[in-house]
Structure formats: C-alpha cells, structure tokens
Amino acid sequence: METPILLNYAATLFWSRMFYKQNVFIKSYLQILTLLFILPLYSQAEERALLDLDLQSLMKIQITSAGRKEQNIADVPAAVYVIDQKDIEKSGATSIPELLRVVPGLQVARISSSKWAISSRGFNGIFANKLLVQIDGRSVYTPSDGGVYWDVQNVILEDIDRIEVIRGPGATLWGANAVNGVINIITRQASDTQGTLISVGAGNQEQGMATYRYGTKLNENSYGRFYISRHDQSPFQFSADKTDAHDEWQMVNSGFRLDGDVGAEDGWTVQGDLYHGENSQRVDTLWTPYPPYLNQVDDVVNSAGGNLLARWQRRFSDKNSWTLQAYYDFTDRDEIYLGQTMHTFDIDFQNRLQLNDGHDMVWGLGYRLNQDHFNNTYQIELTPDSRTDRILSTFFQDEITLFEEILWLTAGSKFEYNECTGYEVQPNLRLLWKPEKRHSIWTSVARAIRTPFRHEDSGRVTTLIIHEPTFSNISIFGSPDFDAEHMVAYEMGYRYGSASNFSIDSAIYYNIYRDLQSYYQESELSQIYFVNGMDGRSYGLEITAAWTPKDWINTELSYSCIEIRMDAQNDQNFYVEETAEGSTPQHQISLMANMSLGHNLYLNLGGSYTGALKAAGTMAAEHRIVVDDYFNLNANIKWRLNKELEIALVGENLLESSHLEFIQEYFTSPIEIERSFYTKLTWKF
C-alpha cells in the first residue's frame, strides 16, 4: 500500500473513532467512505498516465461563496454543491425552490402553491432561521421573521449563472444566521444575455407564465438587460377533505442589470428589481377578542417591494483586488394577522491580498441598517411597532499554503456587533489535503450564531382564548433577555474527480447546538415566553456521485441522512424537541438522468425519495401530524426546433395525484401538492 493510501486510511480511522461515540451508523458510513478513499487510489496507481488528462468538469467549476474569491470546487474545504445554467435548463423547474430539491443535505418541502420550507441539515420550517440566502450578495433573509419569503424570490431562471450552496456554517465570511448553510444565487452578467428572450407557458397548475427580456450593448464598454415576467399558479387541495385550498398565487416582476468596465482595472454593476404579488390563503386560527373568538378567514397576502444594488471592483494586480458593494432593499407585506414594512441598507467592502510567502488573505468591513414597521393586530403585536437595528462587522480569512499543491490551512473569524445581543465572534479553522491530483480531503471546525428575530425579543402572539367562565387570553411573549443561538460544527469531506467522467463528493458532520429557542410557562393557563431553553446535536452524511457513461447521457445519484437529538430544559408539554427532531426527513435519495435522444430532442428525468416527518408544526401533542414518506418523479422532454426556438413538455409529481410534503407551523391547514403538467415555448433572437 502506497504512502498516500496509508495516510488516507489513517485519517479516516481517526474520524471514525471520533464519531463512533456519537452513533454506530456514522461508523458504518465512515467505513464505506474509507473504501471510496482507497479504491480510486489503487486504480490511480495503475493508471498514472491519466493524471495528465482533464478532471471531470464538475471539479473545475469556479465558485465564490465559500471563500469570497474564485476557487475550484476541488480546492474548497467545505461541503459545496453548484447548480449551473445547464442544470437549470435541464430541470424543467419554474422556481428557485424547485431547483434546490437536487442538493444533497438540503431539505426542500412545498407547503402550498406559494410557500416552501427549505433548510440545510435540519430544523426545517416555513422560516428556517439557520439558513442564509443571498441573491448576488444581497441578503434576502428577513430579520423580522428569521427566514426567507420564497414567494417573492422570483429571479428569471434563464438569467441565473449558478446557485452555490454551502452546507454547514458560513458565518466567518457572511455573518450571523449562516448557521447550517448559505445559498448564493448569482445572476449572469448583462454581456452574457444579449438579444431578446420571450418565454410563455401554461398548464393545469402552472396556470400561466410569461417572460420578456431584452439585452443590448449600451456603448463600447457597457451592457444592459431589462426584463418583465408574470407567473400565475392555481390552487392545490386540502389534505383532510381534498377540497380547494384557496391558495392561488400571482406574481409580477421587472428589473434591470447594467455592467461595464472602466479601463483594464475597474468594473462596475448596477442592478435592481421591482415586484408585486398576491397569494391567497385560508387562515384557520384567527383569534379576536369578541365572539366567535376563533375565526376561519380567506385572506389575500399582498406583497410588494424592490431593491437597488451597486458594485465597484478594482483589480490592482493578480494578487491584489477589492470590491465595494452597497444595496437598498424595500419590502411591504400585508397579511390579515400582521402587516409589515422593512427597509434595509447595506454597505460591504472586501479586499483580497495574495502574499509571496503562501498567504491568500481576504478581509472586509460591513454596515447594515434594518428599519421595520408593523401594523399590529390582536393576533400578533410587536412592541414597539417600529424599530431600527444596526449591525457593524469585520472579518478576515487567510488561506496558508503549508506544502505546495498538497496541504493548505484556512483560518479566520467574523467579528460582529448587533444591538440585540451585542458582540459576537464566529471563527473557523479548515484544513485541505490533496494527496493526489484527483483527490481532495478536507476537515473543519467552525462556530456560528443565529440572532433573535422580532417576535422573540419584543413580540406577542395570541395562541388561545378562553371565554368561559371568564375571558382569558393566552399568548407567547418575546423577551429582551432572549440571547443568540450558538452552534459549533465539526466536518470532514472527500472529493474524487476522474478522467473517465466519474466523480464523488461526500461529507460528514457533527453539530453541537446551545441556547436554541424553546418556551417557558409557569402554569397551565399562564402566559408563555420565548426562552433559550434547548440544547442538542445533529450528525449525518451527504454523498453525491456523478457519472457520464456515454456522451449522450449523464447521471447523478445523491444520498443524505441526518440524526437530530434535542433536549429542552423547560419542556412543559410543548414538545419542542419532537418538533425540532421530526421536521426533517432522516433519509433522502435523488437520482437524475439527462439524455440526448438525437434530432435536437432531450429527455430529463428526476426521481427522489423523501423520508417521513415524525412530527410537524405545532406545540400541542394532540395536533402533531406525521407526514408520510413519498417517492416522486419529474420528467421533461425538450425539442429544439432551431437555434432560436425550443418547446418543452414538463410533468411534475407524476407518481401520485397528490401528496403532503410539509405542514405550516402557523394558522393554516395541511395542503397537498398535486400532479402537474405544463408546456413552455422559449424564443431567443
């Protein structure tokens, strides 16, 4: 056995021993990984000549989110998955959440026509508050609710260059709330989207969709694009009685992007978006202080907003560059139980310095201002109804070459001050080892925090009204003493990319959580309070294998598993442990196959298995509902009539007429996602 193989085997045994104490199935997975590490090395020892060939294309993809600099995936000491433009074209998806279903370790569940629960490595919910999401570096994480409103994140899919998903903490570079992952949606430069694009489609659920985009060269050094789109979605059905769920959804978006150069050193970008949407919902638990007290109401959520972003980049040399970015984001959302307006201003500066002694440093400064206003109701009240919060931050990260082209150490930390919890430090330490050209082994330890959202530190939510023999209101109250949640993550990963169009990407992790959100109630009918009352841990494995056996077909198989164990210190029949543990499927499998059938005809298949959810949604034990496991199949066939015109026929959720994927935590009944078909015509000229 050669030296690299011995080192590989020794490292795997070390981690196997470490994780063995946590759970026996982790040891079994690590033994499988050991074989994955070693067997390709045996093959490589017999075929040294292949080292001079190009690696599998997956390993060459350039990403920026993992290190705030361009890197090959093979050189990133983190769990990374990239959805590129080709993947988007083949998917048949009509929204960003549907694109994200293929990412191993990401839990994506549709709640209704316009709502999704999306999280990384557990703790899923309509507001998955441990996942940071960005579009071109602009955060779309909502500090008022601690999550993302996915219904208003309607980027034209043809304009997305790639979606970079970092599973595991990214707080050292991106700050608070990047606890279990970061999703960065990166759009294409205006110079790459020249000409006209017209796209129209319709189906039984996708009732209507239309996009117009025009790109043009403005002058010798600048380009622009402008777009407008509309999407109409039909309602799904209630799980209980299969009747209309009153959850139809309409969204209109428009925007622009301008890119240009000033000489050889400077580049700039200005971009902006506007949107307006209406999504209906039936609210089952709307409390009022007058009879009948508990009401069922059909509501229409009106959402509107916009953003404007500007970025300037200067490149002094190959080893020295900086970026200055600023954006403004406005959101207005009106629901029957709460109306809210949010203004966000953010400015960010970063500098990359590559020193001659093997240091590749990135550092930066940031300032963010969040200003909110709420139209309080009897159901939900925020005190005060308007507030301004400021966040100051700085970070640094240094990639140190220990042995040229073999071993690298990355160290850094984020230093952040917010007006809610004060000073926070979020460091990481990462090690990357490349024993051979086609193999990458990495390990890391990192700390991340989640800051409180408004309900947790200054809110009141009505949960129950008792009107006999006397009137009594039971509510959940926020507390100014609510502190940040903390997590320390230990990770290890392995990548292999062969010259024969085969690659493997795998990761294992062990996360320790402290001071998670829980509830406290002195007696059965007294008020309830948000407290930092739950600790726990999670551990799991994610693995993806991509294989192109022939030039007309490529396949990808992904598997992920997770085990979550929580312990609530103040558990008083709220079942917060069961909800945290059961809101995420333990096992997920995804299999994709993309085929070229000849004559400009393409067939794309995607099958998946999602494990059951053991507990969903509410604090009361009698209302906890199990969501059964399910298999799913999506398929689309595309015909390119010529260079300009393409027709697509898409089928989604083909194996069942309808199925339940998730249960919203608040106010609404479970809704089943139905089988759908649509056809789409795309014309580029």
Could you read off the pLDDT of 577-595 as tens digits, one per residue?
Answer: 888 899 999 999 999 999 9
608-637 average pLDDT score: 79
Rounded mean pLDDT of 618-625? 51
At 196-215, the pLDDT tens digits run 999 999 999 999 999 999 99
Q: Which pLDDT does position 7 carry in this prediction?
A: 40
Listed range (74-83, 228-237, 564-573, 633-642) with the worst mean pLDDT: 564-573
DSSP secondary structure letters along 295-317: EEEEEEEEEEEEEEEEEEEEEEE
Burial of residue 173, with CB atoms counted within 10 A of its CB: 0-12 exposed, 13-18 middle, 19 or more buried: buried
Sequence spans of domains, the chain: 47-684
Residue 57 pLDDT level (bands cut at 50, 70, 90): low
Kindly state the average pLDDT of the residues 546-570: 93
pLDDT at 576: 86
Q: Is the confidence at residue 53, as pLDDT, over 90?
A: no
Query: Ramachandran region of residue 419, left (φ > 0), alpha (ψ -120 to 50) or beta?
Result: alpha
How far apart CA 336 and CA 328 sit, in angstroms, is: 27
Taking only the tens place, the pLDDT of each residue in 10-36 is 444 444 444 444 454 455 545 555 554
Q: What is the pTM of this model?
A: 0.91
Residue 618, pLDDT above cutoff 60: no
Q: What's the average model confidence in pLDDT over 537-547?
A: 96
Q: Give the count of beta carbons closer than 10 Å to the beta carbon of residue 241.
A: 8
One-letter identity of residue 224: G
Burial class (CB in 10 A: 0-12, 13-18, 19+), 233: buried
The pLDDT of residue 547 is above 50: yes
Tens digit of each residue's pLDDT (9 = 90 or more) over 409-463 = 999 999 999 999 999 999 999 999 999 989 999 999 999 999 999 999 999 999 8
Min mean pLDDT across 18-22, 164-168, 335-339, 469-473 is at 18-22
Give residue 70's identity as a one-letter amino acid code.
Answer: E
Is the pLDDT confidence value at 671 over 50?
A: yes
Q: How confident is the model at residue 524 (pLDDT cuts 50, 70, 90)?
A: confident
In degrees and rounded to multiples of 5, residue 112 shows phi and psi of -155, -170
Q: How confident is the model at residue 52 (pLDDT cuts 50, 70, 90)?
A: very low
- The pLDDT assigned to 624 comes to 60
Buried b / exposed e over 460-472, threshold 16 CB at 10 Å, is bbbbebeeeeeee
Sheet holding 160-167, edge to edge: 79-84, 160-167, 181-187, 131-135, 138-139
Amino acid (one-letter) located at 198? I
- 8 pLDDT exceeds 50? no
The answer on pLDDT for 9 being more than 60 is: no
What integer pLDDT is reported at residue 498 of this predicted model? 76
Number of other residues whose CB lies within 10 A of the CB of residue 668: 23
Higher-pLDDT residue of 618, 608: 608
| Topology, domain 47-684 | Maltoporin; Chain A (2.40.170)
Mean pLDDT of the chain: 89
The share of the chain scoring above pLDDT 70, in percent, equals: 89
Whether the per-residue pLDDT at 42 is higher than 80: the answer is: no
Residue 356: predicted pLDDT: 83
Residue 150 to residue 117: CA distance in whole angstroms = 9
Residue 570 confidence class, pLDDT cut points 50, 70, 90: low
* 258: pLDDT strictly greater than 70: yes
* Structural contact between residues 451 and 418, judged by C-beta atoms closer than 8 angstroms: yes
What angle is formed at CA 459 by the lines to CA 277 and CA 464, rounded to 5 degrees?
Answer: 90
> CA dist 123 to 118, 471, 476, 477, 563, Å?
9, 36, 20, 22, 11
Lowest mean pLDDT of 177-191, 281-295, 550-564, 628-642, name the range: 281-295
Helix axes 24-46, 3-20, angle to 10 degrees: 170
Q: Per-residue pLDDT for 1 more than 80?
A: no
Cα separation, 294 vs 435, whole angstroms? 65
Q: What is the mean pLDDT of residues 127-132?
A: 94
